[in-house]
């Protein structure tokens, strides 16, 4: 009974932030034609206002993000073409990351380095997990299996750390970059929109935290495999 309750509590803790983010995004995706500009048009306008003419604005099927390698703001189709509060707010958030990149904002720079490091770490982790039983069997060394598997899981867990340390960068992109941009743009309805835009920007900032919590389940599953 107690283990069942703990499991339910864990699932709620892991999935509640993600469900909240999805709910907020869905709520403010309507009405779709509320503003005179689409998310893509606003992103282009904001980027040009900062002199970032070389940064592209592109539609994507892999989620809203800013790609620093390609120097591109990428928006999901609904945010790229949509004229909802969600569309223009998320577009401003991603432009906020482009501005961070252009200005050399240190937490953004550190995050990019951590992302590369975590990516390599996860690749090494997967390799170690596959090699552990093979080498352990060939060498007949159970202790070696445990050490390699533990090293692999810890390497894979680096992605969780990266997601968690991203939060200050996301908060800056939302509230020190995107919100002032939106307020200066003149597109928000000053009497009603700001509180809702803040809620959306909070959801945008929490996206990576939700991903980190969800990845804990995979991490926990691998840890359970180490148990005798």
Residue 19 lies in a domain: no
> What's the structural domain count of the chain?
1
In this prediction, residues 185-191 reach a mean pLDDT of 91
User: Is residue 194 included in any domain, yes or no?
Assistant: yes
Model confidence pLDDT, tens digit, residues 36-87: 999 999 999 999 999 999 999 999 998 899 999 999 999 999 999 999 999 9
Residue 191 domain flag: yes
In a domain, 24, yes or no: no
Q: How much is the pLDDT for 18? A: 76
- Average confidence score pLDDT of the chain: 81
Phi, psi of 216 (to 5 degrees): -60, -35
45 a catalytic residue? no
Active-site choice (41, 45, 58, 94): 94
Classify residue 70: in a domain, yes or no: yes
| Within-domain flag for 215 | yes
Q: Which of 54-63, 106-115, 156-165, 194-203 has the lowest mean pLDDT?
A: 156-165
Residue 179 lies in a domain: yes
Its pTM stands at 0.78
Q: Is residue 66 part of a domain?
A: yes
Q: Is 205's pLDDT higher than 60?
A: yes
Q: What is the DSSP string of 190-213?
A: TTTHHHHHHHHHHHHHHHHHHHHH
Domain that holds residue 209: 32-225
**Contacting residues for 24 by C-beta, under 8 A, at least 6 apart:** 199, 200, 202, 203
Q: Which of 26-30, 105-109, 183-187, 212-216 has the lowest mean pLDDT?
A: 212-216
User: Quick one: 134 exposed, middle or buried, by C-beta within 10 A (0-12, 13-18, 19+)?
Assistant: exposed
Instruction: Say if residue 183's pLDDT is above 90.
Output: yes
């Amino acid at each position: 009974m107690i283990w069942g309750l703990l499991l339910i509590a864990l699932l709620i803790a892991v999935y509640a932030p993600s469900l909240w983010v999805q709910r907020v995004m869905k709520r403010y995706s309507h009405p779709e034609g509320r503003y005179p500009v689409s998310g893509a048009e606003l992103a282009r306008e904001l980027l040009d206002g900062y002199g970032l003419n070389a940064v592209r604005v592109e539609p994507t099927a892999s989620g809203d993000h800013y790609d620093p390698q390609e120097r591109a703001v990428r928006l999901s189709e609904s945010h790229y073409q949509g004229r909802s509060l969600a569309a223009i707010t998320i577009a401003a958030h991603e432009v906020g990351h482009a501005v961070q990149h252009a200005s050399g904002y240190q937490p953004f720079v550190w995050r990019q380095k951590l992302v590369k490091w975590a990516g390599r770490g996860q690749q090494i982790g997967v390799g170690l997990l596959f090699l552990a039983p093979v080498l352990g069997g060939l060498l007949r060394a159970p202790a070696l299996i445990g050490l390699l598997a533990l090293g692999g899981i810890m390497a894979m867990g680096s992605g969780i750390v990266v997601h968690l340390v991203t939060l200050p960068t996301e908060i800056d992109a939302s509230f020190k970059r995107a919100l002032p941009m939106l307020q200066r743009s003149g597109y928000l309805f000053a009497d009603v929109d700001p509180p809702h835009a803040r809620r959306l920007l909070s959801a945008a900032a929490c996206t990576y935290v939700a991903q980190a919590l969800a990845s804990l389940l995979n991490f926990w599953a691998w840890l359970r495999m180490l148990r005798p």
